[in-house]
Structures are given as structure tokens and as C-alpha cells.
């Protein structure tokens, strides 16, 4: 428990100071976020134009602070686990992809980087590769699980699990990226998700006879480090944001959430833990399906992702953010209720 507290506290402090440094650093160089434009007009969100030029790539502080907090937490005789280090390689690889895209956007002063078409395919291949590495190098359970390994009795061949895990990583990174459209929305919802995984990791560590999790304490420390990093970042990212996380933060955070679910055998519970991200990504998919099915004439929402739909309906940005945070909190609470309820049922036998 002390290691978890150290990870959260150190990463929060480093993120708080590191984000402030990035704000000053990027402002001094005039490197800010370009706003989505088409034919020199914003797509119905003219009130977002004042955000143009706001420093971006703040996710560097989140990833860096989480890594530092995780490392410092190991000073109290907590061994570095192979599983957590593999997860870190995956997170850093995804963050590097996001950083490259962010950097090109800033340099070109356009909302689309060079990878805007290829990025989905590249991240998908990376996700499948990382899923294979987890299977090949650790004792991770190869079942599709809800709250613990084998709880559904749903075993699949190894290659199917690798594809499933890879798609889970890819989908979560994209869902968090889609959610990152309003000040603090993605960071606040991710903070709640990492809080849930911190509890799950520690719970599995305290009950090894029930949960077949490899190195649960180290994974709980990793989740706590990311939670603390998101907390420190939100000080500067809350509306009106002084810096955006960018793709480097969104892809890194999304992959960390997915890896947490995979390593803690809570694959399907991720749908609730990242409930608001699922809704956001789902709204984009539904919008595209309706638009194409109607011959490119009709849309279900005023604009997708769905947070823009409510903005165009007259909700102030802060209202959308707070209400979506509340929905995220309810979804995470429901996920934890399911997890603890299953534990209670098993423990009572």
C-alpha cells in the first residue's frame, strides 16, 4: 500500500511541475494546437477558435511523471516485474507515435499530421505485437475475463486471444483520443479509470488465491502512478485549459488503461471503467454509419464525438465536461461494484 501511495504522490507532484514547465517551454517557442478547420471555417464550433495556439503535447508530462513515480515507488524493496516493463514499452511506443503526429501538426500548423491516415493501421499492428509479447514473455492468463481469470469459463486459442487483446489495446487508445476534445474531459475520466485499476491491483495482491494476476502489486503501482500523473496535469488542463495533452498523452493513457485491464484479467470490465470513452468512440462510429447509409445526406448527431453534439445544443463546455465526468464516475463505480460483488460471492463459499 505504501508503494502505491508513493507512486501516486510522486507522479502527481512531478506532473504538476512538469506540465508548468511545458507550458512555458512551448509558449516561448510559439508551438500551439491548431484548431480543426475546413475551408477556413470551424466545423460549427467557432467558440473553440480562441483555443488555437494553446500549448499542446502536455501528455509528455503525464507519461514522464507516471514513469518517474513508478520507478521511485520501487525503492521500498518492490521488485521490477517483467510484465510491468513490457507494459511500459507498449505505452512509450504508443506515446512516441502520438508525439510524432503532434509534432508534425504543430510544425505544419494543421490539425492533421502525416500519420492521420496511416496511424490507425500502425497502432493496430503495434497493439497486436504488444499482446503477443505479453503472452510470449509472461504468465498472463489467456482467457477472456470479466473480473478474474476463468470467471466466464471462456477460453480461446492463443492466436485468438492475441488478436482480441490487440484490438482491445487499439480500440482503447483510439477511444481516449476521441474523448480528448474538451478541457480536462479525457484526463479526468482517465484519472477515475486508473483509480479503479489501482484498487483492483491491490485487491488482487491481497487475495492471490482468488485472482490469478501476475505481479498484481506492481500493476497497481503502475495504475496509481498514471492516476497521480493525470491529477497533476488536470491542474493546468482544467477549463480553460492552459495546455492540451495531445496525441502523445491520449495514446499513452489509452494504452495504459488497456494494458491494465489485460494484465489484471478484467478485459470486459474495461467497457465500464472506460464507459465514457466507449460512448464517445461509439458516437463517432454511429455517426459515420448513418451518414454513409443515407448517401452522405443525414447525420444522427449535430456533430461527433457526442460531446460536441451537446455543445451545439447549447450546453456550455464546462457543463458538458462536469456532466460527462459524473457519468464516468457512475460507470467506474458500477464496475467496482461488479468486481467487489464477485469477490464477496467467491469469498463466502
Q: Which three cell numbers stand for residue 7?
A: 507512486
CA–CA separation, 161 and 209 (whole Å): 24
Does 305 sit behind a cis peptide bond, omega within 30 degrees of 0 on the bond before it? yes
| Three-class DSSP category at 256 | helix
What average pLDDT does the chain have? 89
Residue with cell 502525416: 114
118 Cβ contact partners less than 8 Å away, ≥ 6 residues apart: none
Three-class DSSP category at 208: coil
Task: Name the band, by pLDDT with cuts 50, 70 and 90, for residue 145.
Answer: very high
Tens-place pLDDT, residues 298-323: 888 888 899 989 988 889 999 999 99
Give the span between the Cα atoms of 9 and 155, in whole angstroms: 39
Mean pLDDT in residue range 36-40? 47
| pLDDT attached to residue 54 | 85
Distance CA 128, CA 125 (A): 5
Gap between the Cα atoms of 224 and 216, Å rounded: 12
Q: What pLDDT is attached to residue 42?
A: 45
Can you give the residue ranges of every domain in the chain? 2-269
Which whole number is the average pLDDT over 20-26? 93
Q: Which pLDDT score, from 0 to 100, does residue 48 have?
A: 67
Which value, in Å, is the radius of gyration of the alpha carbons in the chain? 20
* Chain mean position to CA 327: 16
Q: Is the dihedral of CA 272, 246, 168, 136 positive or negative?
A: negative
pTM of this structure: 0.92
Q: What nine digits make up the cell of 166?
A: 490487440
pLDDT class of 55 with cuts at 50, 70, 90: confident
- Give me the pLDDT at residue 336, please: 97
Q: Classify each residue of 112-126 as buried b or exposed e, where b means 16 or more C-beta atoms within 10 Å of its C-beta.
A: ebebeeebeeebbeb
pLDDT at 139 over 90: no
Residue 320 φ/ψ, nearest 5 degrees: -60, -45
Tell which wins on pLDDT, 255 or 1.
255
- Among 135-144, 161-170, 317-326, the minimum mean pLDDT is found in 135-144
Query: What is the enclosing helix (H) or strand (E) of 233?
Result: helix 216-237
Higher pLDDT, 204 or 39: 204
Cis preceding-peptide flag for 307 (omega within 30 of 0): no
Q: Which of 87, 54, 19 is nearest to 229 (CA)?
A: 19
Amino acid at each position: 500500500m505504501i508503494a502505491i501511495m508513493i507512486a501516486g504522490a510522486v507522479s502527481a507532484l512531478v506532473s504538476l511541475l512538469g506540465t508548468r514547465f511545458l507550458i512555458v517551454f512551448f509558449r516561448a517557442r510559439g508551438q500551439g494546437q491548431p484548431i480543426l478547420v475546413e475551408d477556413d471555417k470551424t466545423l460549427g464550433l467557432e467558440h473553440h477558435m480562441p483555443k488555437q495556439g494553446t500549448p499542446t503535447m502536455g501528455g509528455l508530462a503525464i507519461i514522464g511523471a507516471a514513469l518517474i513515480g513508478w520507478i521511485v515507488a520501487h525503492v521500498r524493496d518492490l521488485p521490477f516485474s517483467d510484465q510491468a516493463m513490457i507494459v511500459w514499452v507498449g505505452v512509450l511506443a504508443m506515446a512516441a507515435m502520438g508525439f510524432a503526429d503532434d509534432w508534425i501538426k504543430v510544425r505544419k500548423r494543421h490539425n492533421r499530421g502525416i500519420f492521420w491516415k496511416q496511424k490507425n493501421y500502425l497502432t493496430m499492428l503495434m497493439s497486436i505485437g504488444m499482446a503477443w509479447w505479453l503472452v510470449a514473455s509472461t504468465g498472463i492468463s489467456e482467457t477472456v475475463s470479466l473480473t478474474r481469470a476463468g470467471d466466464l469459463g471462456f477460453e480461446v486459442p492463443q492466436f485468438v486471444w492475441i488478436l482480441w487483446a490487440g484490438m482491445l489495446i487499439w480500440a482503447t487508445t483510439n477511444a481516449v483520443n476521441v474523448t480528448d476534445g474538451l478541457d480536462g474531459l479525457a484526463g479526468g475520466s482517465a484519472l477515475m479509470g486508473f483509480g479503479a485499476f489501482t484498487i483492483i491491483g491491490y485487491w488482487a495482491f491481497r487475495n492471490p488465491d482468488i485472482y490469478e494476476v501476475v505481479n498484481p502489486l506492481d500493476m497497481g503501482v503502475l495504475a496509481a502512478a498514471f492516476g497521480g500523473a493525470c491529477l497533476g496535469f488536470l491542474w493546468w488542463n482544467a477549463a480553460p485549459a492552459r495546455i492540451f495533452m495531445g496525441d502523445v498523452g491520449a495514446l499513452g493513457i489509452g494504452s495504459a488503461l488497456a494494458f491494465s485491464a489485460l494484465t489484471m484479467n478484467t478485459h470486459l470490465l474495461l467497457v465500464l471503467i472506460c464507459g465514457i470513452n466507449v460512448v464517445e468512440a461509439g458516437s463517432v462510429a454511429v455517426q459515420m454509419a448513418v451518414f454513409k447509409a443515407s448517401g452522405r445526406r443525414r447525420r444522427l448527431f449535430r456533430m461527433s464525438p457526442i460531446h460536441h453534439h451537446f455543445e451545439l445544443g447549447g450546453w456550455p463546455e464546462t457543463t458538458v465536461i462536469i456532466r460527462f465526468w459524473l457519468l464516468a464516475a457512475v460507470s467506474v463505480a458500477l464496475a467496482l461494484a461488479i468486481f467487489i460483488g464477485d469477490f464477496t460471492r467467491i469469498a463466502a463459499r
